[in-house]
Amino acid sequence: MCFIEISDVVKRYDNRLSVDHLNLNVEEGEVLGLLGPNGAGKSTTIGMICGLIGIDSGEIQVGGVSVRQKPMEVKRMLGLVPQELALYNKLSAEENVTFFARLYGLRGALLKERVREALEFVGLEDKAKEQPATFSGGMKRRLNIACAIMHRPKLIIMDEPTVGIDPQSRNHILESVRLLNRMGSTVIYTSHYMEEVEAVSSRVAIMDKGHLIACGTQQQLRERAAQQERIILQASPVSESLLEELREHPHIGRVEAEGERIAMYLPSAQRTLQDVLFICARHQALIASLECEAPNLESLFLNLTGRTLRD
């Protein structure tokens, strides 16, 4: 069942298109990994789903409710974990969660129960009376999650929730995402880190320059990525004539060079490797190491955009 339906959505900032006629559906009960480099339109899309950013044209529906027509009804259904921390440093952890719980109309015994549950869920129950100003970056991120889930939302949106934190807190957050999903929440998880999205998502959407450029299960995207392999050489000397001949080869799609490192993208390393070795020998380039990499989601993104996810 489709829970979020984004139909032909456009968002402009002055003369720049941030989101360009985007169409994307999110199924109820899934974890959708939303990937893309800075400027891809991910955060703008999330802002429009949440009703925080106006939609110039198109339509977004959440649970069958129009964001444009009934934004408050949509906001009651979701919990947002923003990229920038949304905490009050002079309030205790318990008071922070209580503040946001009151915004959702929770009162009395139910409010106290939900606050306790949320802090326990993120492993901060023993820090309830302490102020987040004294917390580590990972603890602040976890408190941010507690503030977003205390009302048991049907939809949870996490925008770069692991930025600048330690590995232990990152693992805790990823496990929290899986658990929230098992408890019935639909989750949108955005990140620059492919490995995080691979760990939690049932389906992946990749954006670039405001467009949806790929979407499917991880297996479907890996099959699409399998069209390209990568050869990485360490060679010396690396001359312009060597690079030019490699780039002119009909079976080499793209050649990237940095110092003595050459990366080549091609349909079949096995079919082309002998030619690569002959070209290097012809230009008297001594090969120090050679590595063939199997295709993955990161290589799919590179092939589609010419950039890495962290660009």
Tokens of 283: 């230009």
Out of 73-82, 127-136, 151-160, 209-218, which region has the weakest mean confidence (pLDDT)? 209-218
Q: Does pLDDT of 264 surpass 80?
A: yes
DSSP letter at 82 equals -
Q: Which of 203-207, 226-230, 305-309 has the lowest mean pLDDT?
A: 305-309
Cα–Cα dist 43/50, whole Å:
11
Q: Is the alpha carbon torsion for 213, 216, 218, 224 positive or negative? A: negative
Is the pLDDT at 311 greater than 90? The verdict is no
pLDDT computed for residue 308 by the predictor: 62
Range in 3-17, 260-274, 291-305 with the lowest mean pLDDT: 291-305
**Which residues face 60 on adjacent strands?**
6
Strand partners, 231: 264, 292
3 state DSSP class of 100: helix
Work out the average pLDDT over 191-219: 89
Question: Between the CA of residue 253 and those of 21, 58, 289, 294, 302, what are the distances in Å?
Answer: 29, 37, 21, 16, 12
Ranges assigned E (strand) in the chain: 2-13, 16-27, 31-35, 57-62, 65-66, 78-81, 155-159, 186-191, 203-208, 211-216, 229-236, 254-258, 261-266, 286-293
**CATH topology for 2-223?**
Rossmann fold (3.40.50)
80-105 pLDDT tens trace: 999 889 999 999 999 999 999 999 99
**How many CA atoms lie within 13 Å of 41's alpha carbon, on the beta-carbon side?**
27
Query: Residue 295 contacts by C-beta under 8 Å, 6 or more apart in sequence?
Result: 222, 225, 226, 227, 228, 229, 230
Residues of the chain with CATH 3.30.70.100: 229-294
Kindly tell me if the per-residue pLDDT of 225 is higher than 70.
no
Amino acid identity, residue 60? I
Q: pLDDT value at position 28?
A: 96
d(CA 2, CA 25): 6
pLDDT of amino acid 227? 63
Nearest CA-CA partner of 86 in 52, 38, 120, 48: 52
Instruction: State mean pLDDT over 287-297.
Output: 83
Instruction: CATH 3.40.50.300 in the chain: give the residue spans.
Output: 2-223
pTM higher than the cut 0.85 = no
Q: Say how far apart CA 110 and CA 249 lie, in whole Å.
A: 68
Domain 229-294 belongs to what architecture? 2-Layer Sandwich (3.30)
pLDDT in tens, 44-71: 999 999 999 999 999 999 999 999 999 9
